[in-house]
Amino acid sequence: MSSTEPTTLAAVVAAATRVAETSSRTGKIAELATLLRGLAPEEVEPVVGLLTARVRQGRLGVGWATVAGLGARADPASASGLTVGEVDAALDRLAAVGGAGSTLERADVLGGLWARATEQERRHLSGVLLGELRIGALEGVLADAVARAAVVPLEAVRRAAMLSGSLGRTAYLALSGGDLAGVGLAVGTPVLPMLAATAASAAEAIGSLDGPASVEVKLDGARIQVHREGGPGSAVRVFSRTLADITDRVPEIAALVADFPGGALVLDGETLVLDEDGGPRPFQETMSRFGSATAQDEALRPWFFDVLHADGVDLLDEPLSVRRARLAAVVGEHGIRSIETADPEAAEAFSREALAAGHEGVVVKALASTYAAGRRGRHWLKVKPVHTYDLVVLAAEWGSGRRAGWLSNLHLGARDPDVPIGEPGAFVMVGKTFKGLTDEVLRWQTGRLPLLETHRTSRAVHVRPELVVEIAVDGVQRSSRYPGGVALRFARVKGYREDKRAEDADTIAALRAQLQRG
């Protein structure tokens, strides 16, 4: 790395713009590698954050309403003068703000930043602050660029980023000549969660796996990863699916894990709010409870299904059978309800019981499988007989009648895995719906979607494909109306999934498979 002058924000935004306008993955990698090679060591991690909207400071406490009001405070600067270091320092100040008067203090910090930023820089910073920047420089492409700029193996970059939970820190290490192979799981640093593919039934899932499996209840909850530094009473940190630190919002979970036996721990699980009869409440109530620590009658209950570290030993590369035994010894009754079987009929019976209890279905996991952090493979298979899909909002039409003035009818897209995120065609439209939208959600999306606007017509606001929404359907049918060749039957909104990113959306292949199953 070499740099004689501080890197400007304008240079980063210009590179990001060129990347967004480049359709070739090779071209994107080359552009980003050139940018990375010219950075000073202290600029690497901030720049990676500015390119991926995952800044090193973590949560900044800035919402879309705050960002929307910034433009009224001052006109954009006519020429850029901000450096990466100055932006990073401002983000440090934002991250440190708290307590009484924090709203005004945040506004002052952001106001100073906005007063010095050009219009183009403001748009880029808005995406960074909201964690919703889509310029085609997603982490997969950027990891390739880091490997090229540092002249190191790509797999070494990917594994280090996976285990450290930070591509920015990995990039710094690679570009400064550090030892990527020495990066391991660190208690207190979240790792990317392992993801599941889909299967039509529990019996089909069992049949596709080689050997016995764990069949586990699939909760309609929120993914959590919990780290404990040492033995009982040690500090505990809780992270969301997107690796955000949510410890202060779930004190009951932290207190519970603090009392578990043994030493240091890294646990993977789900949490949700229960009703008065002990049944699961709707997912949106769980997500609402995530917003703050509230009364005990709304306490979140965790269930754990994996352990990645215990008593100083990393377990990522151990088979699930070993991890399950260690997990049971630690969490006891707080383990997810499950059975171990290779019998399709037993798996189906267990799946029916899970559905009867009000849960989403089951997840079938090969007992011989290791923990593939950050990857969706065929060793974990989710089965949700009530058809729901996580899709991306592509546009919203203005409502009429009682919904006049609100953005209502949603255009929905499924992910095309053959097209990199950020490039045209990465999401394929599969239908529309306005059903299931409450007045509260209508108000929210009418304020939220224009911040992601790419263009509009007289009928609709078209947006960057970033917001994930869970859609329930009666089925999938063939259709020549939409480019994917399929359409949703009787689609209705279950709720927005702000815990998921666009790359987590279901694929067009999953919808086509449902069509084949009838």
Residues taking part in catalysis: 218
Identify the CA nearest to 94 among candidates 84, 104, 102, 106. 106
What is the DSSP secondary-structure string of 246-274?
A: -GGG-HHHHHHHHTSSSS-EEEEEEEEEB
Where in 148-278 does DSSP place strands (E)?
195-198, 213-218, 222-228, 236-240, 265-273
Q: Please provide residue 193's backbone torsions phi and psi, each rounded to the nearest 5 degrees.
A: -75, 145
The SS3 call for residue 372 is coil
Angle at 344 between CA 342 and CA 348, to 5 degrees: 125
Q: Are 262 and 270 in contact (CB under 8 A)?
A: no
The tokens 């001052």 sit on which residue? 74
- Angular region, 374: left φ>0, alpha ψ -120 to 50, beta rest: left
Angle at 464 between CA 482 and CA 32, to 5 degrees: 120
What is the DSSP secondary-structure string of 447-469?
A: HHGGGGEEEE-SSEEEE-TT-EE
The tokens 């960074």 sit on which residue? 128
- How far apart are alpha carbons 22 and 141 in whole angstroms? 12
- How far apart are alpha carbons 376 and 385 in whole angstroms? 20
306 burial type by CB count under 10 A (0-12 exposed, 13-18 middle, 19+ buried): buried
DSSP-H helix ranges across 370-481: 439-448
Spatial neighbors of 379 by CB under 8 A, at least 6 apart, are: 209, 365, 366, 369, 372
Rg (CA), the chain: 23
The three state secondary structure string of 276-308 is CCCCECCHHHHHHHCCCCCCHHHCEEEEEEEEE
Q: Are 59 and 245 in contact (CB under 8 A)?
A: yes
